[in-house]
Amino acid sequence: MIKIREQIRDIIINNYIKEGKDPFDSIIGQENAKRQILSSLISGRNILIIGPPGTGKTTLAKNIAKLLPEIDFPEGIPLWAYEEFPFVSEEYRKKWREGPFIKIRGEDRFIRIQGSYDLSVEDLIGDIDPSKALKYGIHSLESFIPGKIFRAHHGVLFFDEINRAPPKVQNSLLELLEEKKITIGTYEFQIPLDIIFIATMNPESYYGTEKISDVLLDRFDIINLDYPKDIEEEKKIILKYGKSLDVNFPEKLLELTIEFIQKLRKDDKLERKPSVRSTIGIYEKAQALAIIDKKENVEIQHIFESLLSILPHRIRLKPSYKMEINEEEYVKNQWNSFIIGKDFRS
């Protein structure tokens, strides 16, 4: 089977670049980031996407998986139990030779690992179950409990918020990133893996993150994402991904809402800024409130109500300002100051 990195390279070049198409057309904006990701995929390199929450990191990674071609896989065999796997039994190897086979799409070979402080190396790699090893043998498929890394074979391994994983877990990835192989526990043999590795992380200033070692960073191409560059770009994202309910959201009010959110992102009092998910949430909730009030149009009070529900827990004031005010009062004050002199009539 052709290596997955070679497949994605050929698909990008032949199906998109030569045809002048955007393989990530579901992502609005972020043109430089998309260009850098394409160059990393073509050259077969590991990718680390850095950006605040809600900037499209996960969406980009899922888009890459959708580019992958379908593969033929023996029916009834777990996806991680590929033919070259050392624990695969002769019965399974026979299925690999004779079938029957089923088609597996690229998006079904997208495996996500969520970084967290309690993530263990065994969660990623897997381990041998001692009781089953006594019954079936140490090299039997039944004795092995696979981690998520093996489930991504012939697909995309997406490690979300890698800098929330403890250092021991981060270090366990070095062999995979450098050699495309994994050693299980204390066993000496290495198991080859055919994957595209994509990781994301929030900026290191975010709460609950661990520092990424220079040795690990050296295995990645770093791609930076940021918030939408202007009101028009963010409006396109909201209208594409936000739910439109049975009520009108006046364009002027929508632009006013986006302008307010973008103003907050520039405020140096905040250490955590409102994401695009916040704007989408306000867009959806304001419509719902208008429906409750039996209004045909979203009105300014619906936006204000939505702000107080959506924003306070999605932003964080810097410690030096928390002594003076909490996040809810901050949102109220900022909004009241912002709308002074604004024409928000339809």
What whole-number distance in Å separates Cα of residue 235 and Cα of residue 276?
10
Mean pLDDT throughout 180-189?
71
* Predicted confidence band of residue 83 (pLDDT cuts 50, 70, 90): low
Structure tokens at 9: 């390279």
Decide: 163 and 113 in contact? Cβ < 8 Å. Answer: no
Check residue 208 and give its pLDDT.
56
Q: For the chain, what percent of residues have pLDDT higher than 90?
A: 49
Q: What is the pLDDT of residues 128-166, one digit of tens each?
A: 777 877 777 666 666 777 788 888 888 999 999 998 998
Q: How far is CA 341 from the centre of its chain?
A: 40
With 80 as the cut, is the pLDDT of residue 254 above it? yes
Element spanning 113, H or E = strand 110-114
With 90 as the cut, is the pLDDT of residue 125 above it? no
Question: Residue 62: how many CA atoms within 13 Å on its side-chain side?
Answer: 9
Q: What is the pLDDT of residues 89-108, one digit of tens each?
A: 677 778 778 878 899 898 88
Check residue 99 and give its pLDDT.
79
Check residue 341 and give its pLDDT.
77
DSSP string, 269-313: TEEE---HHHHHHHHHHHHHHHHHTT-SB--HHHHHHHHHHHSGG
The pTM for the full model equals: 0.85
What whole-number distance in Å separates Cα of residue 198 and Cα of residue 47?
5
Mean pLDDT throughout 69-75?
86
| Domains of the chain, each with CATH number or no CATH | 4-224 (3.40.50.300), 231-338 (1.10.8.80)
Check residue 1 and give its pLDDT.
62
What whole-number distance in Å separates Cα of residue 194 and Cα of residue 200?
20
Decide: 271 and 223 in contact? Cβ < 8 Å. Answer: no
With 60 as the cut, is the pLDDT of residue 206 above it? no
Check residue 2 and give its pLDDT.
74
Ranked by mean pLDDT, which of 55-64, 146-155, 248-257 comes out on top? 248-257
Q: Could you tell me which residue, 209 or 290, shows the higher pLDDT?
A: 290
Structure tokens at 22: 């955007």
Q: What is the pLDDT of residues 36-56, one digit of tens each?
A: 999 999 999 999 999 888 788
